[in-house]
Structure 1
Amino acid sequence: MGDAISSPTQPANALKPRLALHGISKQYPAVKANDDVTLVVQPGEIHAVLGENGAGKSTLMKIIYGAVRPDEGEIQWNGEVVEIGSPAAARKLGIGMVFQHFSLFDTLTVGENIALALDDKFDLKKLAKRIREVSADYGLDVDPQRHVHSLAVGERQRVEIVRCLLQNPRLLIMDEPTSVLTPQAVKKLFTVLRRLASEGCSILYISHKLDEIQALCQSATVMRGGRVTGRCDPREETHASLAQLMVGHSLPDYERREHTPGDVKLAVKNLSVASEDPFGTSLKDVSFNVHAGEIFGIAGVSGNGQAELLAALSGEIRDKHVPADAIAIVGQPAARL
């Protein structure tokens, strides 16, 4: 299993890391988000940052991107000490970031959204040409004239990546990039990231999906409670050893037991609801039963009606649009409750 704390392995020919953090700390009123964090990323390296929710990963990434200022510590970029006071300063250095929750305007075109993130002056026609060239070169298939509301989730992520690529990043931060993607889109993303790495771009990859980390990353830094608790080569670890580094103890063994469904507590029958949001997803003939003692899962790529379904079940839109007999709770139509 990876070392609890050890110096990250550096190739003999890597004299200057692309990014080096030393003693980074950030204190908020109720919690110390980062506590004496050290992180080294080499040129062309795909480096994972692992940890549970609240481990301090997002704060650290925001510090690197200039969205948060550290209280203590030093940041080195290509061997030189720098202060990254804003995302614009980070982009000027060559640092790009694709956030977990996309920052795109639905009513604008792809080209207009990308233009908003550029720090230099631009011409929309010339920019559209550059977008087509870059997206075609990397196989990202982005049309600058399409409106964002017409794009699928995977296409929206391509827009975010192309927006970064237009600024020639030397370090790309990917925050939970596959949380809303289909398996096919994940494969496409990995192809792009591996190509970027082969061209010398360093990648910081944040994810909870250990199989992805092992398939993509050459090294990993593990965080827990705001501190670095381990470093390893994830390709030489198992899921269990990586998880143990993340949580600090061995995981309990679980066994699946037979389950006998109880009475129906929630019944949804032929639920159809037209979305009030012009960019939302309407529900069409949704039916399912939830039994007593049952853990019922609703799966799907983000943007496929989950929010609308929960709004209908919670009563947020029931009065106006949901048929009275479409939802029953403990045998009673929800409209009567």
Structure 2
Amino acid sequence: MRANTAEKWLEERIRKYGPISKLSLFGKPTVFVYGQAANKFLFSSDISTIGYQQNQSLRKILGEWNIFELSVEDHKRVRGALVSFLKPESLKQYVGKMDGQVKEHLEMHWHGKPQVEVLPLMKTLTFNIICSLIFGVERGARIPVNLLFTRYNRGLKASATVQNMVKDLIREKRVEVEQKGASPYQDLITCLLSTRKDNEEVLTEDEIVHNVMLIMVPGHDTSSVFMTFIMRLLANEPAVYAAVLQAKTKPSEEFLTWEDLTKMKYNWRAAMETLRMVPPAFSGFRKALKDIEYGGYLIPKGWQIFWAIPMTHMDNSIFPEPS
């Protein structure tokens, strides 16, 4: 990965062993699967057959009650609560808010600068937006410290610090929900606190904290990397850049709306093509929760299942001239 040759290594492995092979990763027996059929197998299997799998270091930083660590029933319950935050009636309220933060960021860090470092700035922007949407707080002293994205030992200490800050915010939000009737679409924590069954909160405090942590870390990394690469690709493709700019249909002082986004079809295609060519995450893991037969082979219960996203995205038998 450090030498940026992981794809070549996997291509050689596929040529040598075919679309399914076994190896050891992070000290665990692992099956590597490749191809469209493998993708369908992974993403359409029942969650009682194939579960999520994270390496131990990430699990310790994010917490054991994050959605990727939960059993079938707990997974369904927590997933249902999180998905309620992503309903259109919720998302519609955030479009203008996010647009305002982007404009403020560009004015502060980009305008008038002869040169900028895109990735660090995108990390700053995504971190501020994520904190705004999760906690309902803007830039300033009360945003959870941007410490989680450090090396492991420091990351564990930072995780404890951030979890305590999140717990304090949850207690404040709980008062707002119970005493002031705060809107469930105000931010993620308010939404999760407002998700109730038989007048009881669906999620425990630890489940809220650990899943907030889960959203902060991968969401921060993937979004900032994606935005960096789409800028690079637009800079290198003037025709695409010009077509993307045509979506601008309102004065700069007005914020975007949900309706504006639904009209930006070409921009969405440019975004999807960027994700195909340069996916922000290289690979992923699942775990066999029972013995599974796939491709004429037995994957034993407890084994890791590993796949790499670019291997199909850049396959010229699927996408002619993939680059």
Bin of the TM-score, shorter chain as denominator length: under 0.3
Q: Which has the larger Rg?
A: 1
Greater percentage in strand: 1
TM-score by length of 1: 0.25
Higher RCO, 1 vs 2 (CA within 8 Å, ≥6 residues apart):
2
TM-score by length of 2: 0.26
